[in-house]
């Protein structure tokens, strides 16, 4: 699995916000086996707790994917991305341009505009988008080589609200890496996303706000692996009627003394 030419073995991307403590965050990332972690620029400062947090992330040895979380305009997102590149030293950026305050749904018009500006500036953009095929096409035309459709609103834990749309995206973009971003609440949600053929899952709240974040991180890692294996195994089609698993041909025949109908 490659993203902008970088090969990864883990298909679970993990966020770093809202954990009970830095130690729990560190342990959760380790057991998740995540190789990519997302970080908001707002978590970083030139000193104090921000510097300690940055030291912790570097010690983990993961690839940093800065994000523009909380940005509501193109200019805000572009400026934040440029600052993140200077701080983290990476062209990778998870691009968010929020259009709706309650659902945190992306402003897809601003998203495409910002993606074009950033790719022209040398960024490698991971756009947080909807599951709309036309928007996906526009983002690819803008220079994005990855699409990150939402499963449900950020932090909602609702799972995949429209699996048919994600299935359609997989069929429409067979060669584009697809990462389900937002809405994953349980390991079964992550497994379902992977069974649909997604290349990876990005989540944060489901782990950070669990009763035991470390155990949940381990569960999510297992679910992602199981879902991927299930997809590659080519699952059986769903059926409307029952089909016996034991063949009728060759069954024993019983006489009248055993309730049979022949002599």
| Backbone phi, psi, residue 67, to 5° | -130, 165
67 appears as a binding residue in the annotation = no
Query: Degrees (nearest 5) of the Cα angle 171, 115, 176?
Result: 20
Interatomic CA distance for residues 32 and 13, integer angstroms:
9
227 appears as a binding residue in the annotation = no
204 appears as a binding residue in the annotation = yes
Residue 94 designated active-site: yes
Interatomic CA distance for residues 2 and 177, integer angstroms:
8
Interatomic CA distance for residues 210 and 186, integer angstroms:
10
Which residue from 182, 181, 190, 263 is spatially nearest to 224, judged by alpha carbons?
190
155 appears as a binding residue in the annotation = yes
- Say which of 2, 30, 94, 209 is annotated catalytic: 94
183 appears as a binding residue in the annotation = yes
Question: Can you say which residues are annotated as belonging to the binding site for 1-deoxy-D-xylulose 5-phosphate?
Answer: 155, 182-183, 204-205
Enzyme catalytic residues: 94
Binding-site residue set? 155, 182-183, 204-205
């Amino acid at each position: 699995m490659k993203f902008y030419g970088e090969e990864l073995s883990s298909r679970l991307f993990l966020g770093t916000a809202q954990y009970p403590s830095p130690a729990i965050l560190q342990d959760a990332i380790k057991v998740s086996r995540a190789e990519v972690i997302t970080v908001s620029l707002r978590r970083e400062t030139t000193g104090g707790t921000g510097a300690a947090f940055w030291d912790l992330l570097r010690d983990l040895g993961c690839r940093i994917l800065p994000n523009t979380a909380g940005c509501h305009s193109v200019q805000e997102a572009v400026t934040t991305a440029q600052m993140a590149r200077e701080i983290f030293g990476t062209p990778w950026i998870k691009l968010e341009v929020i259009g709706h305050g309650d659902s945190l749904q992306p402003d897809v018009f601003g998203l495409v505009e910002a993606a074009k500006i950033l790719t022209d500036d040398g960024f490698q953009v991971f756009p947080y988008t909807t599951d709309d095929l036309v928007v996906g096409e526009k983002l690819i035309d803008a220079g994005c080589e990855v699409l990150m459709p939402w499963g449900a609103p950020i932090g909602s834990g609702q799972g995949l609200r429209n699996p048919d749309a994600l299935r359609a995206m997989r069929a429409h973009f067979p060669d584009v890496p697809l990462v389900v971003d937002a809405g994953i609440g349980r390991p079964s949600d992550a497994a379902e996303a992977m069974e649909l053929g997604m290349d990876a899952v990005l989540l944060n709240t489901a782990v950070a706000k669990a009763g035991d974040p470390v155990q949940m991180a381990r569960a999510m890692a297992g679910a992602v692996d199981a879902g991927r294996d299930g997809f590659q195994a080519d699952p059986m089609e769903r059926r409307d009627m029952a089909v016996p698993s034991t063949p009728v041909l060759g069954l024993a025949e019983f006489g009248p003394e055993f309730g049979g109908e022949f002599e």
